[in-house]
Chains A and B, each alone.
Chain A
Amino acid sequence: MRFALSAEQRQFAESLTGLLSAADVATVARRWAGGEHEPGLKLWRRLAEVGVTALAVPEHRDGLGAGAVELVVAFERLGYHGVPGPWTDTAAALPALLDDELLAGVAAGETLASLRWDPHVPHALDADVADTRIAVDGTDLRVFTPGRSLSGVDGSRRLFEAVPGDVIASCPDPGRAFDQAALATAAQLLGAGRWLLDRSVDYARQRVQYGRTIGEFQAVKHLLADVATRLELAGPLVYGAAVALDAGGDVPRDVSAARVAAADAAYLAARTGLQVHGAIGYTAEHPLGLWLAKVRALTGTWGTQAFHRSRVLTALRAGSVR
């Protein structure tokens, strides 16, 4: 057993960190929220160049056919940096939903997909910019037409009503696609939680009140220590679920456990981050609110916490305890 990232996987994460740290993603996300897609699409293509969109695409569709662990590495970085766009739909779900030549476009970073998936994803993400729009209806895959745009807590998640049309294909077992999307969401939540913790620690080290940095106060330290603990323990669940997807295991149980823990930890990081920042964190001028909103939005999509807890319980009731 070696339960740690390989040198290549660590290197991949570091290269994404380097690329995204230099990309001023907060500005890209704000412009994306305003309907100005070009900077975000440019970033999409740069990430495609280093392989992010090709990870889950099979090799015979010009993809990398990489494992779920690599997918988690990438989505954790996307979540950390708050990258906008229909990443989960396009790079995590779609490649497992159908085996079609359009996946070559996904791998190349030219095709963006938006999915509706009742009842978990009733609103289609970035359906205006996506060129592939699919509503999953049991085992039927239908095209959908974007309807009214909806205003959400995270402005960089541009949501649309989706009006399903004709059946274009069928997917006998959409479970894998759903689990990859739920796991990618968990990874983004883990990354977003880590960003919130890092920025809160930075802030607590420099903000001075009562003549000392607020990070000296135990009341502040203990809040942040609890966040660190929850994130540290959520991470292995997320990677453990990726191993289950790659090598076999109780996939629904492990993906849902990861999603529950990652969302709870990220939400604690968001609430704590806001409290540590105080009023500045409550402004639209400060980036904290972008991540706070993203965490709240991701917590409800690709399965609610209640849905994922119920999937864990279903597995446990059936005796899948060890």
Chain B
Amino acid sequence: MDLDLDEHARAFRAEVRDWLAEHVPGTPLPSFDTAEGFARHREWEALLADARLSAVAWPEEYGGRDASLLEWVLFEEEYYAAGAPGRVNQNGLFMLAPTLFSHGTAEQRRRVLPPMARGEQVWAQAWSEPDAGSDIAALRSTATRTDGGWLLSGQKTWSSRAAFADRAFGLFRSDPDSERHRGLTYVMVDLRAEGVRVRPIAQLDGEPGFAEIFLDEVYVPDADVIGEPGDGWRVAMTTANNERGLSLRSPGRFLAAAARLVDLWRREEAADPALAGRVADAWIGARAYQLYTYGTVTRLAEGAELGPESSVNKLFWSQLDVALHETALDLLGPSAELRGPWLDGWLFALAGPIYGGTDQIQRNTVAERLLGLPRGPR
């Protein structure tokens, strides 16, 4: 049992650290949920891709560098420690790409991944519907067979990044007689296609981080179906585990936030000493998540698969993120209400217990699939 890095990992980490020190913008980019910020973040993704740093764990042929899972975790630690811009294409990089690696065709990977890595195609997710939130299997948007493809109709909502994104992926009911998890198909769709209407929705911070997507007989070719038609639920579970598990919110993000919280605590000498314990707990939580992840990476490297423990992950980081930012705001005292990175971070953290399966859904998963408690009514 050790926490040592081999020479390759150390060299990789040093390269990433140096590159970021040289390239991370001195002033933060505007929010990627504004038109200007979105464009600036797209340019940043292209810069990352030029250094083959936008998707380090991918195979080289798609723009990655075949980094190990551990090296990807190290990349993330360096990335957030450097205060680098948020990943505007995170839906694509961390949800769609793993799904394509598991269930896509070689043609799909060749066509979709390189422009994703360069930020030329930014992806939105299209899961939720007005009547299908936590209960995603209640979705009603349809995919109807047509010559050489499918016609999509219906409404998706709470679609992150859809206001400015190029394409979206999600589940559609392809068998009109099916119910629940059966008869669903996983589809990629062009948000500029005929029949698509996108209505941006302002989030708590006032920026359109969400959108509704209205689809009226939007044509998608067979080539844009991932996995077999009707098998979409199983395909989507890969995405769900990735979102909840390792890839969407890696420890680097929380370690960096905890380090900034420690800095804030050291500066705010007038703050209530009673807050010190919460600063300690925030750092301890981030460190715990880092070490837990190193354990997960070890297990995955030895052939295990990410299962219900991805719900343990999500439950932990979503609550850690809220507590950490609440502590920062309490340290800031009466200035906490002013616009600034901690207020923005707190608003962002508040979404964590909701997206990617609410904390309540995660607790059901942990209780039933990890602890073996009986399934009951929802």
Contact A212 B376 (CB under 8 A): yes
Interface bin, chain A = 35 or more
B57 CB–A CB distance under 8 Å: no
Which of chain B's residues have a CB closer than 8 A to the CB of A2? 1-2, 298
Once the chains bind, are B315 and A229 in contact (CB under 8 Å)?
Answer: yes
Say whether B66 faces chain A, with CB atoms less than 8 Å apart.
no
| Interchain nearest-CB distance for B311 vs A (Å) | 8
State whether the Cβ of B259 lies closer than 8 Å to any Cβ in chain A: yes
Q: Which of B266, B287, B295 contacts A3 (CB 8 A)?
A: B295
A236 in complex: contacting residue of B5, B295, B373, B374, CB < 8 Å: B295
Cβ–Cβ < 8 Å partners of B374 in chain A: 205, 213, 215-216
A1 near B2: Cβ-Cβ < 8 Å:
yes
Q: Which of B243-293 contact A (CB under 8 A)?
A: 255, 258-259, 262, 266, 276-277, 279-281, 283-285, 287-289, 291-292
Residues of A within 8 A of B291 (CB): 3, 236-237, 239-240
A222 sits at the interface (CB 8 A): yes
Contact of A201 among B70, B255, B309, B372 (CB under 8 A): B372
Q: Beta-carbon contacts of A1-15 to B below 8 Å, as 1s and 0s?
A: 111111001000000
CB interface residues, B 289-335, toward A, < 8 Å: 289, 291-292, 294-295, 297-299, 302, 309, 312, 315-316
| Contact between A1 and B295, CB atoms less than 8 A apart | no
Query: Can you list, as one digit per residue, whether each of A203-217 has a CB less than 8 Å from chain B (1) or not (0)?
Result: 011000000110111
Question: B368 at interface (Cβ–Cβ under 8 A)?
Answer: yes
A69 at the interface (CB under 8 A from B): yes
Which residue, A69, A217, A228, has most C-beta atoms of chain B within 10 A? Answer: A228
Q: Contact check: which of B259, B316, B363, B368 meets A233 at CB < 8 Å?
A: B316
- Chain A residues, Cβ within 8 Å of B255: 322
Alpha-carbon distance between A248 and B298 when the two chains are bound, in angstroms? 20
A109 vs B299: C-alpha distance when bound (angstroms): 36
CA–CA, A210 and B279, complex, Å: 43
Residues A232 and B1 in contact in the complex (CB < 8 Å), given A1-B298, A221-B373, A222-B367: no
In the bound assembly, the distance between CA atoms of A212 and B374 in angstroms comes to 10
Judge whether A313 and B279 touch: CB under 8 Å: yes
Q: Which residues on B sit within 8 Å (CB–CB) of A233?
A: 285, 288-289, 292, 312, 316
Known contacts A236-B294, A312-B280, A247 near B2 by CB under 8 Å: yes
A261 at the interface (CB under 8 A from B): yes
* Given known A216-B375, A232-B309, A257-B284, contact A222–B262 (CB-CB < 8 A): no
- Chief secondary structure at chain A's binding surface: helix
Q: List, in ascending order, chain B residues with CB within 8 A of A69's CB.
A: 1
B378 / chain A contacts, CB cutoff of 8 Å: 218
Indicate if the CB atoms of B363 and A226 lie closer than 8 Å: yes
Question: What are the residues of chain B within 8 A of A261 when measuring CB–CB?
Answer: 284-285, 288
Q: Label chain B's interface by main secondary structure.
A: helix
Among A221, A237, A310, A313, the residue within 8 A (CB) of B368 is A221
Q: Is A224 interfacial (CB-CB < 8 Å)?
A: yes
Cβ–Cβ < 8 Å partners of A215 in chain B: 367, 373-374, 376
**Residue contact B276 to A313, C-beta cutoff 8 Å:** yes
**Residues of B57-107 contacting chain A, CB below 8 A:** 70, 81
Q: How far is the CB of B44 from chain A (nearest CB, A)?
A: 24
A236 to B376, CA, bound (A): 31
CB-CB under 8 A from B298, the residues of chain A are 1-4
Contact, CB under 8 Å: B376 / A216 = yes
Contact: A217 with B366, CB < 8 Å?
A: no
Q: A1-B2, A309-B280 are in contact. Are A236 and B371 (CB under 8 A)?
A: no
Is the CB–CB distance between A228 and B277 below 8 Å? no
Which A residue's beta carbon lies closest to that of B77?
A322
Is B360 on the interface with A (CB-CB < 8 A)?
yes
Cα–Cα, bound, A249→B367 (Å): 35
Contacts of B266 in A (CB 8 A): 317
Besides the known contacts A239-B1, A317-B262, 8 further A-B residue pairs in the complex with CB atoms under 8 A apart: A229-B315, A229-B316, A236-B295, A237-B287, A306-B277, A313-B280, A316-B283, A321-B283
Closest 3 CB pairs of A and B: A216-B376, A236-B291, A221-B367
Q: List 24 A-B contacts (CB under 8 A).
A: A1-B9, A1-B294, A3-B2, A3-B297, A4-B302, A9-B1, A201-B373, A212-B376, A215-B376, A218-B363, A218-B378, A222-B360, A225-B371, A229-B312, A233-B285, A233-B289, A236-B288, A236-B292, A236-B294, A236-B295, A249-B3, A309-B276, A312-B284, A322-B259
